[in-house]
Amino acid sequence: MELDRTASTGLRQQIVEQVRGAVERGVLLPDDPLPSTRALAEALAVSRTTALEAYLELEGDGWVYGVHGAGTFVAHRPAAAPAPTPVVLEPDDEPELDLRAGTMDPGLVPDAWRAAWRAVSPRSFAPDPCGDPALRSGLAAYLSSARGLPCRPEEIVVCAGASEAVTVLGLALGWAGRAVAFEDPGYADMRDLVVRLGARHVPLPVDAAAPVALALEHLTARGETPAAVYLTPSHQFPLGHRLEEDDRRAVLAWARRSGSVVVEDDYDGEFRFGVPPLPSLAGLDPDAPVVYLGTLSKVLDPSLRLAYLRVPPALLPEVVHVRGLVGATVSGQVQEVVAGWLASGALSRHIARVRRVYADRRAALLRALEEVPGVVGVRGIEAGLHVVADLAPGIDAAAVVAQARERGVAVTSLDDFRSSPPGPPALLLHHGGLDPQSLREAVRRLAGCAAMGVRTSPPA
């Protein structure tokens, strides 16, 4: 062992590293004796304190052990574990043309929105867990004017996205161990989240031709009345139809009789094409057991994680209590900017502008689909940012999805939203994220998939 007195590393540390290195290389073996601190100090011309501190560090790290009256020895160390296999994280294989639900066009985010962010100042205090008072007032006014839902600011609960809003709601209303009904086909991710919260999923079959209230009555008749039912009446996800007013009133009547809570996800409620608005479920009776769920990501900014609940007075105390336990999760700056946009009328003007943009995109998609032989019908065209393209019997929708991906186009099979697939072949096509030219190109590539022209016998 030799020490370099000109090195920047101290003498004690040099002793530690050289003993450790000798053990790692097998020069020193388990139970080999080491020189006493006095002998080591003399051999290396260092103080005994330096030698003692080096041994103490080695012992503390498990490299040596001392036996009283016998000396210091090399410790038995476990064999080194094999080096882990390196995990190479591949970048997401982003499709060139994305027609999946939820994809939005960041180019539609207005410059004024970005400017509002630059103008906001950091806060020195956390916002109220239920939301900034100015934002809650703005959202209450917006719901009253835009969705026909009169409500008070204190009935608004702000959350970091729809998933958190439903989590807060499920905890507050005690869904664990109880049945919660979801539309089938429906919002699979939200259904899975609620099951993770401990609820039992009950499928609620939905179809444009069948009243939802009748399906709910059938559940009750079978003794499966759920504690809550999750509905998307403005633009059923994924089938795309709207719940007519008579059916809405029948759903409210069922909820009052059954004691169930209706969660009204106003999915795509801002986007209608050539049809008059329908009142929200909660707007038809503000005191009914209906919790309204709204978001702003689709109308304003895809990266904005801000959702809100309008909770009827009877359910409000428990929801506010749980929201307080979770704490504020939306930054004060985000809430301040959105509140300013609501108060100035900028949000309403922006919605009117993008509604015209989306109408043009929807029209381009529908015209392109008319030229695809394998598409036998299109549903959900009156509202929202997606349509359902029904495929000819015998077409394998899953094969179409796979082949389209190979051609740079991402689409989704309707089976992905069914609780018990497969069903009749169909594709969900979202038009919010692509301009008309890109939509036409996406449909052209989709039509060129071999699976769109090959018929196989449907399973018996």
Mean pLDDT, contiguous 10-residue spans, the chain (460 residues): 83 91 89 90 86 86 84 78 49 79 80 74 75 95 90 96 95 96 95 95 90 93 95 92 93 96 89 82 93 87 86 96 93 89 87 90 95 93 91 95 95 94 94 94 95 56
pTM check: above 0.85:
no
State how far the alpha carbon of 405 is from the alpha carbons of 94, 171, 350, 402, 409, in Å.
10, 39, 33, 5, 5
Q: At what angle do helices 11-24 and 48-60 cross, to 10 degrees?
A: 50
- CA R_g for the chain: 32
Instruction: Check if the beta carbon of residue 278 is closer than 8 Å to that of residue 242.
Output: yes
Place of tokens 């969900």: 428
Predicted pLDDT at 202: 95
Place of tokens 């939802």: 212
State how far the alpha carbon of 103 is from the alpha carbons of 97, 386, 410, in Å.
10, 10, 10
CA distance 164 to 326: 10
Amino acid (1-letter code) at residue 383: A
CA distance 402 to 387: 19
Predicted pLDDT at 460: 40
Predicted pLDDT at 93: 66
CA distance 258 to 256: 6
CA distance 44 to 297: 70
Token representation of residue 394:
């015998």
Q: Which of 294, 226, 291 is nearest to 262 (CA)?
A: 291
For residue 14, the 8-state DSSP code is H
Task: Give the H/E segment covering residue 310.
Answer: strand 307-310
Residue 87 phi/psi, 5-degree rounding, is: -100, 120
In our burial notation (b when 16+ CB lie closer than 10 A, e otherwise), range 24-52 reads: eeeebeeeeebbebeebbeebebeeebbe
Predicted pLDDT at 137: 96
State how far the alpha carbon of 373 is from the alpha carbons of 362, 366, 391, 449, in Å.
19, 13, 9, 12
Instruction: Check if the beta carbon of residue 108 is closer than 8 Å to that of residue 350.
Output: no
Identify the structural domains of the chain with CATH numbers, from first to last: 11-74 (1.10.10.10), 127-344 (3.40.640.10), 355-452 (3.90.1150.10)
Instruction: Check if the beta carbon of residue 440 is closer than 8 Å to that of residue 364.
Output: yes
Q: At what angle do helices 37-44 and 48-60 cross, to 10 degrees?
A: 120
CA distance 196 to 436: 39
